A and B are shown apart, each in its own frame.
Chain A
Amino acid sequence: MKIEIHSLSETQAFAQKLAKLCVDQPLLITLDGDLGAGKTTWTKAFGKALGVKNTINSPTFTILKSYKQGDGKPLHHIDAYRLEGASQDLGFEDCFDEGITVIEWSSFIEDQLPEDRLSLSFEEGMDENRVITMEAHGEKSAKILEGYHD
Chain B
Amino acid sequence: MIVLGIESSCDETAVALVKDKKEVLSSIVASQIDVHKEFGGVVPEVASRIHIENISYCIQAALKEANCTMEDVDAVAVTKGPGLIGCLHVGVQAAKTLAFAYHKPLVPVHHLAAHIYANELVVDMHFPLLALVVSGGNTELVYMKDETSFEILGETQDDAIGEAYDKVARVLGLGYPGGPKIDKMAKEGKPVYELAKPKTQGRYDFSFSGLKSSVLQFTKRMERQNQTYDLNDLACSFQECALEEIFSRIKTALDDHPEIRHFVVGGGVSANSRLREKIEELKKEYPEIIFTVPPMSCCTDNASMIAVAGTIAYESGRRADETLTGDASWPIQ
Contact = CB atoms under 8 A, between A and B. Distances in A.
B167 A82 contact: no
Interface in A65-85: 65-66, 81-85
Contacts, number: 87
Pick the most buried of A34, A36, A41, A61: most chain B CB atoms within 10 A of its CB.
A61
A31 to B, nearest CB: 14
Pick the most buried of A44, A63, A88: most chain B CB atoms within 10 A of its CB.
A63
A57 B158 contact: yes
A61 B40 CA distance: 12
Given A83-B43, A90-B44, A58 B328 contact: no
Interface stretch (B18-26, B82-90, B179-187, B279-287): B82-90
A12 interface: no
A4 to B, nearest CB: 19
A82 B42 contact: yes
Nearest to A90: B45
A61 B157 contact: no
Contacts of B38: 85
Contacts of B329: 65-66
A66 B41 contact: no
B45 A35 contact: no
Contacts of B212: 35-36
A97 to B, nearest CB: 16
B156 interface: yes
Contacts of A84: 39-41
B149 interface: no
Interface in B277-309: none
Contact of B136 (A57, A61, A63): A61
A113 interface: no
Contacts of B42: 61, 63, 82
A39 to B, nearest CB: 10
Interface of A: 34-36, 40-41, 44, 55, 57-58, 60-66, 81-86, 88-91
Interface of B: 10, 38-46, 82-86, 136-137, 155-160, 162-163, 167, 170-171, 209, 212-213, 216-217, 328-329
Given A36-B209, A57-B157, A63-B42, 11 more contacts: A35-B213, A35-B216, A40-B159, A44-B158, A57-B159, A61-B160, A64-B328, A84-B39, A84-B40, A86-B45, A88-B46
